[in-house]
Amino acid sequence: MRAVRVFAAVLAAVSIAVAGCGGGDGGAAAVAVPDSPAGKQLSWYMDAVNRTPVADKELKEHLSETFLKEVPPEEFNRLAKTLAGLKVTELTEVKPDALKGKASASGQEYKTEISVDDAGKIDYLLITG
């Protein structure tokens, strides 16, 4: 549960930073995300930030119950909205159930980490600038 709390705190800080940013994406090229459980969820998240609010039903299909207890749908949508345009620019660690790398949005680069539980749902997500 600590990891999820870290996500909420860090993403809140990121949303403040993103809200003040303008301009394009800095020209960073997106990279291919693997077709793994973690990769599928990262791809879903990168899409979801561009179409908020995401319905509760859809969030329950992608986020673990523990994650949703710490980051309720309203908060998830509020924070995700600030990251519209987010795209993966580098993957530094690739495992079937976890990915680490970098992403960018609005000219800002972020450290990005995601992992999934045994059911393939997101149980950890960290986006930090």
Domain count, the chain: 1
Q: Report the distance separating Cα 25 and Cα 9, nearest Å.
A: 24
Range of the domain at 35: 2-128
Rg of the chain's alpha carbons, rounded to an integer?
A: 13
pLDDT digits (tens, 9 = 90+) for 2-46: 444 445 444 544 443 443 343 344 456 779 999 999 999 999 999
How does DSSP assign 34-84, residue by residue? Answer: PSSHHHHHHHHHHHHTTSPSPPHHHHHHHB-HHHHHHS-HHHHHHHHHTTT
Residue 29: HSE in the Cβ half-sphere, 13 Å Cα cutoff: 2
CATH code assigned at 121: 3.10.450.280
0.75 exceeded by the pTM?
yes
